[in-house]
């Protein structure tokens, strides 16, 4: 049977060239791979992995899931994956760019409800998370190995510099937890930044959001000009005069000079409700 320790050797022997553009920094530590599977709460069920790399996390997932659907964009990894996944019959490998697949296409491949587990490259993080937040109804959770700052941004509290539009968008429909920090030395090759494993557990009914599209617009507007007050941001974002905006802010029980970044998710929900009634 193939063991993860052989991966580095296998990559060397095959003359594989790491592609920086695809964020190729692989995980090989068996204990860490098992810990990520525990973080993701995989006990059977279906898992979608994005970016199989050399297949080390894919193998660990295949041991605790019923079915794994794994995407990998880099065709140069196909031969390597044929070796590392040879004894993983419950893995379906799709050699392609996950961003070129629509959500219905992805969910046709996964079939049931599913959990996403991925060690994803930085360039994909924001767009990928937002796709699952905004477009999927079947995803149960995301367990992502991301740049440490991104994990901290997702789990941030109001009035901190990490707190932003993506924090509110995600925390409005999910519970977020940073599970572990991963020093850069755990990756092969070693990247320039540390990473963290973050879980996003979807709870779509967490808040009673009257209009999701409007909620997203409110959040985007509130954070669009970080140094401006909420009043200014909403007046610009919704193209309404400041007098009307001031009434909306007062109806929410907020200070006229507050900034968007001081509002918690519940306050954003209330703001959304008032705007829906007033505009």
Output the smallest distance, CB 8 to ligand SAM, in A. 11
| From 45-53, 85-93, 152-160, 224-232, span contacting ligand SAM (CB under 6 A) | 45-53
Output the smallest distance, CB 49 to ligand SAM, in A. 7
Nearest to 72, CA basis, from 45, 89, 91: 91
| From 8-16, 68-76, 135-143, 221-229, span contacting ligand SAM (CB under 6 A) | 68-76
Any contact of residue 132 with ligand SAM (CB under 6 A)?
no
The dihedral built from the CA positions of residue 156, 181, 186 and 194, taken in this order, carries a sign that is positive
# residues near ligand SAM by CB under 6 A: 22
DSSP readout, 114-145? Answer: EEEEEE--HHHHHHHHHHHHHH-SSEEEEEEE
| From 48-56, 166-174, 233-241, 261-269, span contacting ligand SAM (CB under 6 A) | 48-56
CB 161 within 8 A of CB 215: no
Positions in 19-38 near ligand SAM (CB under 6 A): 22-27
Distances (CA, A) of 51 to 117, 145, 161, 259, 277: 10, 11, 30, 38, 44
* Cα atoms in the 13 Å half-sphere on the side-chain side of 74: 20
Nearest to 24, CA basis, from 69, 46, 56, 48: 56
Output the smallest distance, CB 278 to ligand SAM, in A. 41
Name the residue number minimizing CB distance to ligand SAM. Answer: 51
Report how far residue 125's alpha carbon sits from residue 9's, in angstroms, rounded to the nearest whole number: 29
Output the smallest distance, CB 98 to ligand SAM, in A. 4
Any contact of residue 146 with ligand SAM (CB under 6 A)?
no
Binding residues vs ligand SAM (CB under 6 A): 22-27, 50-53, 56-57, 71-74, 97-99, 119, 121, 124
């Amino acid at each position: 049977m193939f063991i993860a320790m052989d991966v580095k050797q296998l990559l060397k022997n095959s003359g594989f060239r790491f592609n920086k553009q695809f964020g190729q920094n692989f995980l090989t530590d068996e204990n860490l791979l098992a810990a990520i599977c525990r973080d993701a709460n995989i006990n059977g069920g279906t898992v979608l992995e994005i970016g199989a790399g050399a297949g080390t996390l894919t193998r660990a997932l295949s041991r605790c899931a019923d079915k794994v659907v794994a995407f990998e964009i880099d065709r140069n990894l196909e031969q390597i994956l044929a070796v590392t996944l040879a004894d993983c019959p419950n893995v379906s490998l799709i050699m392609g760019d996950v961003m070129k697949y629509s959500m219905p296409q992805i969910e046709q491949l996964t079939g049931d409800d599913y959990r996403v587990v991925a060690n994803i490259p930085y360039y994909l993080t924001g767009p990928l998370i937002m796709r699952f937040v905004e477009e999927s109804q079947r995803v149960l959770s995301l367990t992502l190995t991301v740049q440490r700052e991104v994990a901290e941004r997702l789990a941030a509290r109001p009035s901190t510099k990490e707190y932003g539009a993506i924090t509110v968008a995600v925390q409005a429909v999910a519970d977020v937890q940073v599970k572990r920090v991963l020093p850069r030395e755990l990756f092969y090759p070693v990247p320039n930044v540390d990473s963290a494993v973050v879980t996003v557990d979807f709870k779509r009914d967490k808040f009673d959001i009257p209009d999701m599209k409007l909620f997203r617009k409110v959040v985007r507007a509130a954070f669009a000009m970080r140094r401006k007050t909420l009043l200014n941001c909403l007046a610009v974002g919704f193209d309404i005069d400041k007098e009307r905006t001031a009434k909306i802010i007062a109806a929410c029980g907020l200070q006229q000079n507050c900034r968007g970044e001081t509002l918690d998710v519940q306050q954003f929900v209330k703001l959304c409700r008032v705007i829906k009634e007033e505009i």
